[in-house]
């Protein structure tokens, strides 16, 4: 399950959730994350802490490994032969020198409140403080002469409590990691002038994380301004051209972080790296042989040494560990290439899926448009058919309501000659008091009136408003007579008239 081609379906739901949370925080490959989660009993917080702080060796696993690697007991005959020829234990495989883990140090936050005792309690404790100050001077001098005694006594005490986060050293105000690094760089430049070293402009934890992420070497330099050899070491060794050129060489991939033990962060780093003498230098690097996230101290350089010895020790430690880091870089490059390939494949799949969805959407919209157009065409044809039926029904209804033709000419009768659009001429008498709409209705229904001997009684179509698609025009002089209500035929035309029927369909089309 921890191989490169693991199956996520083999994990339970809680394990998949823990794996997703862990990879989202650490950006680590699942194939490398699952072994660490298994060693952490699938506890995400413990696994993340091991990733950033380094994973300490597991004594249980070491005992299992030693038992698994121990040779099988020899047979009786081989034992007799060994006793006869002289028993001598065959040397086992040479044990690899185990590197000390380098923990990730996070200093105390600047915003943490410092408890101040009440004034009465402070006044009561003043004699004890004076006694402590009187006795602390000889004790510090004794500890300076024998620096190994405090560490040995603390080891015998067996206390696993964390060291004090802050010390009251020369009244220095505690700052955050970035400001502390800037203050050290400024004080270092004021004390020793311009130099070619490029100190990391942030805290130890940030330099630690960068060295782990980029697989570089972290050179930690810890100085004590109170130490007599500090100035000599800095001027003759640390700022020498040999050291500066070697450290600044991009091929060596070195990050330099320096600090003064008067600051809380540097003091905690010195305790974590087992600093026993100042000035102190250490090289920290990723150690994939322990775990995929561990950082180890691969070299320690204590005390003032000349550059002729300082550079070879750095070069020896870095050269011995470079092959390991190169393999880790190649593995990471391969993992990144695999991740990029997977992301490209996923991106191409998403693009192809989006294109398929877009084409499906277009086809669906086209089908909907065709269906909608067919429905509209069908509704339009149905409406036209209904309009034709209503028009024919209206003509039949109106034809049976047209006033009959007066029998003789005379007062109250108007004789009109009408020429239809077909060229046929009609002469008919109308009552003078009849409205002009009666004349229009006669022309509209003439085909029904002239063709039917007896008109069938037809009801008026409901909801239909008839509109005449022609007009009656007097040729000389030209005058249009509309079907306006209230206008009688006698008032508009007189006793006789000659009218032409003009269709208005063609003008509407223009």
Sign of the CA dihedral with 338 first, then 342, 348, and 351 last: negative
Residue matched to tokens 């380094």: 54
Output 77 or 97, whichever has higher pLDDT: 97
- The answer to whether 28 and 44 have CB atoms below 8 angstroms apart is no
Give the Cα separation of 72 and 77 in Å (integer).
14
Give the Cα separation of 251 and 4 in Å (integer).
31
- The answer to whether 412 and 490 have CB atoms below 8 angstroms apart is yes
Task: For residue range 261-303, list pLDDT tens digits in order.
Answer: 999 899 999 999 988 889 999 999 999 888 888 899 999 999 8
Give the Cα separation of 382 and 134 in Å (integer).
114
pLDDT higher than 60, residue 171: no
Integer CA distances (angstroms), 48 to 21, 244, 452, 458, in order: 10, 36, 102, 93
- The answer to whether 261 and 280 have CB atoms below 8 angstroms apart is no
> What residues have CB less than 8 Å from 470, skipping those under 6 apart?
421, 443, 444, 501, 502, 503, 504
What is the H or E stretch that residue 151 is in? helix 148-157
pLDDT higher than 60, residue 57: no
pLDDT on residue 204 = 95
Give, as one character, the DSSP assignment of residue 226. Answer: T
What the block records as the tokens of 456 is 């069938």
Name the least confident of 143-147, 195-199, 423-427: 143-147
Give, as one character, the DSSP assignment of residue 22. Answer: H
Give the Cα separation of 423 and 425 in Å (integer).
6
- The answer to whether 421 and 500 have CB atoms below 8 angstroms apart is no
Give the Cα separation of 493 and 432 in Å (integer).
9
Confidence of residue 410 (pLDDT cuts 50, 70, 90): low
Instruction: Tell me the mean pLDDT in the region 468-473.
Output: 90
Angle, helix 13-26 to helix 44-53, in steps of 10 degrees: 30
Angle, helix 44-53 to helix 30-39, in steps of 10 degrees: 110
- The answer to whether 488 and 438 have CB atoms below 8 angstroms apart is no
Select from 103, 454, 145 the least CA-distant residue to 295. 103
What does pLDDT average to over the chain?
81
pLDDT on residue 365 = 95
pLDDT on residue 136 = 81
Name the least confident of 18-27, 236-245, 250-259, 290-299: 18-27
What the block records as the tokens of 86 is 């002289």
pLDDT above 90 as % of the chain = 35
Task: For residue range 141-161, list pLDDT tens digits in order.
Answer: 777 777 666 666 655 554 444
pLDDT on residue 453 = 57
SS3 state at 301: strand
Give the Cα separation of 357 and 359 in Å (integer).
5
């Amino acid at each position: 399950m921890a191989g490169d081609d693991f199956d996520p379906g083999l994990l339970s739901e809680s394990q998949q959730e823990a794996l997703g949370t862990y990879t989202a925080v650490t950006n680590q490959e699942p194939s490398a994350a699952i072994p660490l989660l298994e060693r952490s009993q699938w506890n995400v917080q413990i696994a993340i802490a091991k990733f950033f702080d380094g994973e300490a060796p597991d004594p249980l696993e070491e005992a299992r490994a030693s038992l698994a690697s121990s040779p099988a007991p020899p047979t009786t005959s081989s034992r007799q032969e060994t006793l006869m020829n002289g028993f001598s234990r065959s040397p086992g495989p040479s044990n690899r020198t185990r590197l000390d883990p380098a923990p990730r140090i996070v200093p105390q936050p600047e915003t943490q409140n410092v408890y101040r005792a009440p004034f009465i309690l402070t006044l009561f404790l003043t004699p004890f403080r004076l006694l402590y100050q009187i006795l602390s001077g000889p004790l510090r001098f004794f500890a300076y002469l024998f620096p190994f005694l405090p560490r040995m006594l603390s080891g015998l005490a067996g206390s696993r409590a964390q060291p004090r986060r802050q010390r009251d050293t020369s009244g220095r105000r505690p700052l955050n990691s970035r400001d502390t690094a800037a203050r050290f760089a400024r004080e270092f430049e004021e004390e020793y002038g311009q130099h070619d070293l490029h100190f990391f402009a942030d805290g130890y934890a940030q330099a630690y994380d960068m060295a782990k992420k980029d697989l570089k070497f972290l050179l930690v330099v810890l100085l004590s301004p109170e130490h007599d050899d500090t100035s000599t070491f800095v001027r003759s060794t640390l700022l020498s051209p040999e050291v500066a050129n070697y450290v600044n060489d991009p091929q060596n991939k070195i990050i330099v972080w320096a600090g003064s033990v008067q600051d809380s962060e540097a003091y905690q780093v010195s305790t974590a790296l087992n600093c026993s003498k100042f000035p102190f230098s250490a090289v920290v690097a990723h150690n994939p042989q322990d775990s995929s996230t561990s950082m180890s101290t691969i070299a320690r350089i204590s005390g003032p040494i000349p550059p002729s010895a300082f550079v070879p020790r750095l070069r020896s430690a870095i050269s011995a560990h470079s092959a390991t880091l190169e393999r880790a870089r190649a593995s990471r490059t391969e993992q990144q290439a695999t991740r990029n390939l997977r992301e490209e494949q996923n991106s191409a799949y998403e693009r192809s899926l989006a294109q398929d969805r877009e084409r499906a959407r277009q086809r669906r919209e086209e089908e909907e448009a065709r269906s909608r157009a067919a429905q509209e065409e069908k509704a339009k044809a149905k409406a036209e058919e209904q309009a034709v039926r209503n028009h024919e029904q209206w003509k039949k209804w109106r034809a049976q309501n047209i006033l009959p033709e007066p029998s003789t000419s005379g007062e109250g009768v108007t004789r009109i000659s009408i020429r239809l659009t077909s060229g046929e001429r009609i002469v008919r008498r109308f009552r003078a008091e009849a409205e002009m709409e009666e004349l229009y209705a006669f022309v509209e229904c003439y085909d029904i009136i002239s063709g039917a001997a007896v008109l069938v009684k037809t009801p008026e179509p409901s909801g239909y408003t008839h509109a005449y698609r022609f007009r009656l025009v007097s040729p000389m002089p030209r005058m249009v007579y509309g079907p306006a209500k209230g206008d009688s035929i006698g008032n508009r035309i007189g006793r006789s008239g000659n009218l032409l029927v003009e269709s208005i369909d063609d003008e509407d089309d223009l």
